Amino acid sequence: MLPSDLPLQLQAESYLSQQQYAQAAACYEQLIELYPGQPSLYWQLGLAYLLDGQEAEAQLTWSLVMAEAETPEQQAAWICELVEILQQAAHQQEKNDRPTVAWALRQHIRELAPHQANHSLHLLRQLLQAGQFTPEHIADLGLVAQLRASQVDFDLLLAVLQPILGQFPDHPQVWELVVASLAQAQTAAQIRDLSDRLLTTSHQLFTLFADLVLSRRYAELCLQLDPHRPNPLWRLATITQFAAAYEQGIEFAQQAYRVSTTLRDKLISQALLLRGLLFAGAAWAETKAALDQQTALLHTWLEQPEIDPDQTPESVLLSVCLFFYPYFQDDPQTVRRLQNQVMQSCQQSIDVYVEKHLPDYRPHPRVPLIRTERQKLRIGYISNCLRRHSVGWLSRWIFRHHDRERFEIYTYFNQQTEASGFTAQWFADASDQWRCLTSDEMTAAKTIRADEIDILVDLDSLTFDQTMAVMALKPAPIQVTWLGLDASGLPTIDYFLADPYVLPDHAQDYYSEQIWRLPQTYIAVDGFEVEVPTLRRQDLDIPADAVVYFSSQFIVKRYPETIRLQMQILSQVPNSYFLIKGLGNLQNTQAIFEQMAEEAGVAANRLRFLPHVPIEEIHRANLGIADVVLDTFPYNGATTTLETLWMGIPIVTKVGQQFAARNSYGMMMNAGITEGIAWTDAEYIEWGIRLGTDAALRQNIAWKLRQSRQTAPLWNAKQFTCDLEAAYEQMWQRYLQ
């Protein structure tokens, strides 16, 4: 046995640490002359040669000794010794920030021990750090087979998987690597960590890339890995519901509820079940029962809050549990008070978690900040919908009309990977700065905070949970909700933009946000692009002299009582037809309408169910087939109403109390049209019949709508932007005071 404290050996080790490799090699050569029977000296000598760039000499030194092994077992033991020495050296080179040298050492380790997965993982990590990784390296290293054959350092495996999944989730080699990694998760903590990583990948594929097929495959792996946890089932429920696999979406939500052990998890599962039933067009009694159960769960949860500082807040709870109430009832006093309470409790959970686990982040202070370094107000807009989407079509005009002498515009495309096409033309190119936010909510909030936004405007509200989560972190001193939906109730939102019509006079009584009423309208556009129509009456077997009613809405807006009112209109207008279009389960939609028609004595052959068209411009052109549009209630149209009015078509709407039940009313008032505005069921039927039977009245309304394009507030986005900018300046002055 060679003494460890030999002066010559200590000198050699010192030379190695100082990167004086030739001197180290000379020391080892002298030691070998003194102690020729010590294999470890040859391993160290070869290492010194290798680090000195003499690879051939290193290989020869090791090979000559290995050839003298008396048994395979002795050679295997010597290989293990050499591998251990090379591993230690590679690790030291990594610490010294010499990745190229470490890579070369690990290549030699791989040659000596080709079946050791940990070595392959180290090599992959180095390739990733150097920006040289490609998925083909997985096959080159034989890593999948290695993982199947032995256990590895799980933390190292996860550290390698994370960046690979972030860059190449759709590559076949990566998929094989992930599948082979499942068996490596042995403890509950390891299973949770790997499941969370795969769920993140599934979520990103769904949200960023709209790849529902691959997103589902990753979620199914999570379920295989962790079948008693609701999170994979939530993801699968969401994917299948949006992929129109309605029954599967319902089933996954039901499974999630069964495995949920906390009130919080049951709430999310129940909300996803409710959404699945609505998307599927399930029986109204079943859907209403699901809503009632959700309401009971919410009240129980509020009475027994589960605020755990170690529980990552689920941003989905912020939105999905409250989203669908306006589709069932027009009772804002009750719904909004419940919503405010839920949001307050969610906010407390977020604040507690952030305080404990993210101490470097603090929500924006409420004390005024003095912006001495710039004169312009910096406005930030954040949304997932600044694209060919209703929010994108309507909000784009303010970007064209903003006064750049007074305002700087920062735009945040939340969970979008690029700004191209429509997004670039209308938003990115019209912004002073823009960012694609593709990571988690905290990173997004830090980005916005670093940009020193004065007023942050949320255009998503409850429609997108990750925007909600960013707003809950309060990255700007003033935060505003506009356009995307009714206000969320988040305590971190300061203002909700409205107008004299879209909310009743007493609405402030039940809103936690300060309602800021713009002087005329809360939305205005300069118009809509229109393509060539693809619908003709003769193609639908509708007589030229028939009266055509039209409704284009998502199935969740198809409230049974409103359908009954529409059928009563049809029953009293001879030679009339009803064209029905919208997202959702077409088969169930058709069954609902045909059942209601039969109850009203309307023949089913007077109903026409229209397919989707590829682009919105064609949809608008096809509106020309309609004589009258029948709006939904208690959830009106919004973009569909604007498009209808722009095309000069009369519309019948019933006005309620909640934001969603007053959109069409406000838009019609701002277009200068009162004909078709109903305050009761009887008036809705009356207007429907009158507009269907009075062609002269329809023509007069169409003429008024054409004239309104030149004069009405609804079609004057430039003036609307001026009103909006005045509001921003007043908000800022109020903040400074």
DSSP state of 453: -
DSSP-derived letter for residue 672 is T
Determine the CATH number of domain 537-715.
Answer: 3.40.50.2000
Cα–Cα distance list, 435 to 381, 439, 448 (Å): 10, 12, 9
For the chain, state the CA radius of gyration: 33
Here the tokens at position 424 are 């670039």
More confident: 252 or 126? 252
SS (H, E, C) 255-282: HHHHHCCCHHHHHHHHHHHHHHHHHHCC
Kind plus residue range of the DSSP H or E element containing 437: strand 433-437
Q: How far is CA 296 from CA 262, 270, 292, in A?
A: 14, 11, 6
Which amino acid would we find at residue 194?
L
d(CA 479, CA 472) in angstroms, rounded, equals 10
Q: Would you kindly state where each structural domain of the chain is located, as residue ranges?
A: 377-517, 537-715
C-alpha to C-alpha distance for 694 and 702, rounded to whole angstroms: 13
pLDDT at residue 314 in the model: 65
**Sign, Cα dihedral of 534, 539, 544, 548:** negative
Sheet strand arrangement including 651-654: 607-609, 576-581, 547-552, 628-630, 651-654, 677-678
Q: Which residue has the tokens 């409790």?
A: 345
Other Cβ atoms less than 10 A from the Cβ of 434: the count is 19
Q: What integer pLDDT is reported at residue 95 of this predicted model?
A: 86
Mode of pairing for the β-strands spanning 407-414 and 377-383: parallel
Fold agreement (377-517, 537-715): yes
- The alpha carbon dihedral of 147, 153, 155, 159 has a sign of negative
**Which residues face 383 on adjacent strands?**
413
CB distance 460 to 467 below 8 Å: yes
- Roughly how many angstroms between the first and final C-alpha of the chain, as a whole number? 81
Phi and psi at residue 130, in whole multiples of 5°? Answer: -85, -5
CB 653, CB 678: distance < 8 Å: yes
Q: Which residue has the tokens 């255009």?
A: 459
Residue 213 in tokens = 């097929």
| In the predicted structure, residue 627 carries a pLDDT above the cut 70 | yes
> pLDDT tens across 21-70, in order?
999 999 989 999 888 888 889 989 898 988 988 988 988 888 888 888 88
DSSP element (H, E) containing 378: strand 377-383
Looking at per-residue confidence, does 625 or 41 come out higher? Answer: 625
Nearest to 301 by CA among 274, 276, 270: 270
Question: Residue 166: its pLDDT value, please?
Answer: 94
For 289, residues 6+ apart whose C-beta sits below 8 A from its C-beta are none
Residue type (1 letter), 223? L
Q: Work out the percent of the chain whose per-residue pLDDT is above 70.
A: 97
- For residues 123 and 116, give the distance between their C-alpha atoms in angstroms, rounded to a whole number: 11
Inform me whether the pLDDT recorded for 354 exceeds 80: yes
Q: Who has greater pLDDT, 517 or 12?
A: 517
Task: Say how far apart CA 453 and CA 435 lie, in whole Å.
Answer: 13
With b for 16 or more beta-carbon neighbours within 10 A and e for fewer, the 647-658 pattern comes to bbbbbbbbbbbb
In the predicted model, is pLDDT for residue 372 greater than 60?
Answer: no
pLDDT of residue 114: 66
Coil, strand or helix: which one is 336? helix
Instruction: Using the predicted structure, report yes or no on whether residue 1 has a pLDDT greater than 60.
Output: no
Cβ-contact 120, 142 below 8 angstroms: yes
Is 159 exposed, middle or buried (CB count within 10 Å of its CB: 0-12, 13-18, 19+)? middle
Q: Which has the closest alpha carbon to 259: 235, 232, 285? A: 232
Rounded Cα distance, 651 and 357, in Å: 53
Non-local CB neighbours of 405 within 8 Å, separated by 6+ positions: 376
Tell me what pLDDT residue 324 has: 95
Which DSSP state fits 369?
Answer: -
The whole-angstrom separation of Cα 556 and Cα 624 is 25
Q: State the Cα–Cα distance between residues 205 and 145, nearest whole angstrom.
A: 27
In 10 A of CB 329, how many CB atoms?
16
Q: How far is CA 24 from the centre of its chain?
A: 57
3-state DSSP call for residue 192? helix
Could you tell me the fold of the domain covering 377-517?
Rossmann fold (3.40.50)
| 654 three-state secondary structure | strand
Kindly report the average pLDDT of the chain as a whole number: 93
**Predicted confidence (pLDDT) per residue in 293-317, tens digit:** 999 999 999 998 777 887 777 666 6
Structure tokens at 565: 């009112």
Q: What would the pLDDT profile of 692-714 be if each residue is shown by its tens digit?
A: 999 999 999 999 999 999 999 99
Given a contact cutoff of 8 angstroms between Cβ atoms, the answer to whether 641 and 663 are in contact is yes
What integer pLDDT is reported at residue 578 of this predicted model?
Answer: 99
Between residues 541 and 372, the one the model is more confident about: 541
Pairing between β-strand 433-437 and β-strand 407-414 as defined by DSSP bridges:
parallel
Which three-class secondary structure string do you get for 112-140?
Answer: HCCCCHHHHHHHHHHHHHCCCCCCHHHHH
Closest Cα partner for 595 from 560, 630, 552? 560
Residue 85, pLDDT score: 86
Q: What is the rounded distance in angstroms from the CA atom of residue 336 to the CA atom of residue 513? A: 11
Cβ neighbour number for residue 293 with a 10 Å cutoff: 15
Distance CA 157, CA 165 (A): 12
Sequence-ordered strand ranges (E) for 459-610: 478-481, 495-498, 514-517, 547-552, 576-581, 607-609
For the stretch 14-21, contacts whose Cβ atoms lie closer than 8 Å and that sit 24 or more positions apart, written own/partner, are: 15/48, 16/47, 16/48, 16/51, 19/51, 21/48, 21/49, 21/51, 21/52
pLDDT tens digit string along 641-688? 999 999 999 999 999 999 999 999 999 999 999 999 999 999 999 999
The pLDDT, as a whole number, for residue 281 is 92
What does the pLDDT read at residue 36? Answer: 87
